[in-house]
Amino acid sequence: MERRYTRQARTGVRRVTRGLWPMAAEPGPNFRWGALLRASKPKRVVLPDGTVKVIEESTDRQDLELIHHIRDNNMGVIVDSYKDVASAWQPGAKRPRYKHALVDLAAGYIDGIACLAVDRLTRCRDQVRPILNAMEEMGGRLFFLWDELDTASDDPDTELRLHELVARAEREAERTSRRYKLVAKHRAQKGLHHGSGKRPYGHSEDRRQLVDEEAAMLVQAAKAVDQGKAVWAIAERWTERGIPTLEGKGRWDAGVLRRMLVSPRMIGSREYEGALIRVEYMPPILDEELWRRVRGKLLSNPPKRGPRESRELTSTALCGICGLPMALRSTGLAPCTSARSDLRFLGHAVASSSLFPTSTRRSTPKSSNSSTTSNARMPFSTSTS
């Protein structure tokens, strides 16, 4: 006998007629919230030992504010938090934890999604209607603390206000983007380096001095590439020798090393709109003739995408929650990208059009004979016979 978890149990429950649409759960002290948190970029701090640590101070503050408000106003309980560091305006930005929240809502693990403000959810007007359609289909609820907006409210202007707030957030994002581009243009015209939040490998933080040991390694790498050696082979060799990366890690990534070698920074310049601009105070690491040869070789032979070894389920087996490719492990587990950064999702099941029907249902298996064993909530259907 075959058993599959589907969304029928969620969509077929008695709906509470209140607000913009009928909801699957009654608002009140037992309402289960998922806190959707977002920051545009991570905050990096340099520790005394020189290592760089990424902290989630911004999302932690959002989480605490929501927890206190929902608890103090007897609105229910937050059962999970979904943190993404990504843009809500840039097209194609990956937000896997936002997808997890929608899957949990469909599965009945949470009843609604709470955000500090509308712009934590989205800054794109064309995303509002699809989001509302999905929430209505699942009988969910949206709550935005700072904007005082709740889809469970009987205010007839709720949806109109939501559209207006997202439109305002989109305009602010567009203005911010133009402002950053204008700053970049002015810095390029003045011959200043492209600013970033961390020191580049081979240069001091202000770009005015070389870090001799690192610069020497880049010269060696450039000469090796010029002689025909692959960048990935150089990266592996550096890893074997224990040469520390900028963050102090022991493993070198070939893509990172490749970007360093093709960067105009190697010759004390920067690039803007296809033109090389000399940065007078930045000492070059490589001879310009050598750099142009290396750059030409690397740009004419871009790295291949995907795994080096092709397997039967390559580009076929996908995570049932976020749709990202699964990764083979020697233990037999195949966690997706999200699972590698969040141990709670090591139980992500494999979803494939050729293996299982598409579904977004997650539920805890009722039998210990499930094909996936993990303490994580099951993201996809399981079959037992």
pLDDT one-digit tens code per residue, 256-274: 999 999 999 999 998 888 8
pLDDT at residue 11, as a whole number: 47
Counting as low any pLDDT under 70, the low residues of the chain are 1-17, 41-58, 197, 303-385
The torsion defined by the Cα of 18, 23, 26 and 27, in degrees rounded to 10, comes to -70
CA distance 17 to 28: 14
Q: At 38, phi and psi to the nearest 5?
A: -150, 140
Residues 81-91: tens digit of each pLDDT: 998 888 877 77
Q: Which residue has the tokens 């305002």?
A: 168
pLDDT at residue 330, as a whole number: 46
pLDDT at residue 288, as a whole number: 93
pLDDT at residue 1, as a whole number: 34
Domains in the chain, CATH or no CATH each: 9-173 (3.40.50.1390), 198-300 (3.90.1750.20), 313-385 (no CATH)
DSSP state letters, 274-285: TEEEE-TTS--S
pLDDT at residue 61, as a whole number: 81
Residue 346: which of 323, 306, 313, 319 has the closest Cα?
A: 319
pLDDT at residue 197, as a whole number: 65
Which amino acid belongs to residue 158?
T
Q: At 34, phi and psi to the nearest 5?
A: -115, 125
CB 80 within 8 A of CB 100: no
pLDDT at residue 14, as a whole number: 52
Is 373 strand, coil or helix? Answer: coil
What are the Cα distances from residue 5, in Å, to 9, 70, 267, 355, 380? 9, 31, 59, 15, 7
CA distance 105 to 139: 9
